[in-house]
Each structure stands twice: as C-alpha cells, then as structure tokens.
Amino acid sequence: MNFIEIVNRIFVNKNTYNEVSDEDKITAFFIINRKFGKQFPDIADKFNHKNIDKASAIDMWFEHFKNVHTIPQWYWEPKDHEKVKKIKKGNYDIVKNTHELKEYDIQYLEKYYESDLKKELKRIEKFDKD
C-alpha cells in the first residue's frame, strides 16, 4: 500500500484505516511525517527521532486528524513554494544590476520574455564563473 492510500484512510476512509498493516505504515512513515510536518512542524520533529516506533507514530497522526474528513489543501502544496520564488527573484537581481534595469523592467521581462531572461541569467552566471 502506498502513502497516498494511507493518507486517504487517515482523512477520508477512516473506517478502513485499521486494515493498514504496520509494515505499510513503517514504509510510508518518512513521507507522511514530512508532509504533515508542513503544517505541524513541532509534532513531526518529535516523531523524527531515530528510535521512534514508526507505525505508532502514524497511528498518532491518525488520532490527531480524527475530526478532519477531507485532505487539507496544505497537504498537497509544495513546502518551499515561496522560498523558490524569492530565490528566483534574487537571481534576477544579477541581471538587473548587470544591465542597470529597474524593477518594473524585470517584472515586464519575467512576464513576457521569461525564457530570454533565464538565458541571460545563465549567461551572466557562466561569465561570472570564468
């Protein structure tokens, strides 16, 4: 049984959760704990101990979500979505400074000529390495 099936049983098909074997819980522990850690980092961090009983930890997550009957939106969203955008914009600062552009110029290029902007960024980064 894969982790998606287990997550569905934690949230939606609660009456079939008892059919999940301990072996399946152990196998899926890492990814499920990481995903739940997006919203509940303190709990996930405590479960991340190397000697934790992984099957029992999944049972504790099940108990934690006993009153939730749909998979929350945050579960499927990438954890570092905002971080990725900030890094990308930070890299475009190199292009902005190299060509003495304004912020609105970068926004325009990003909106209409993103592939060209990325090529220029790669070119500048390559040039800086040499």
CB-CB contact of 7 with 38 (8 Å) = no
pLDDT tens-digit profile of 48-87? 988 999 999 999 999 999 999 888 888 877 655 555 555 4
Output the pLDDT for position 21. Answer: 95
Output the pLDDT for position 80. Answer: 55
pLDDT tens-digit profile of 11-43? 999 999 999 999 999 999 999 999 999 899 999
Output the pLDDT for position 11. Answer: 93
Q: Which letter does DSSP use for residue 51 in this model?
A: T
3-state secondary structure of 8: helix
Report domain extents, the chain: 3-76, 81-129
44: tokens are 């996930």
The structure's pTM equals: 0.59
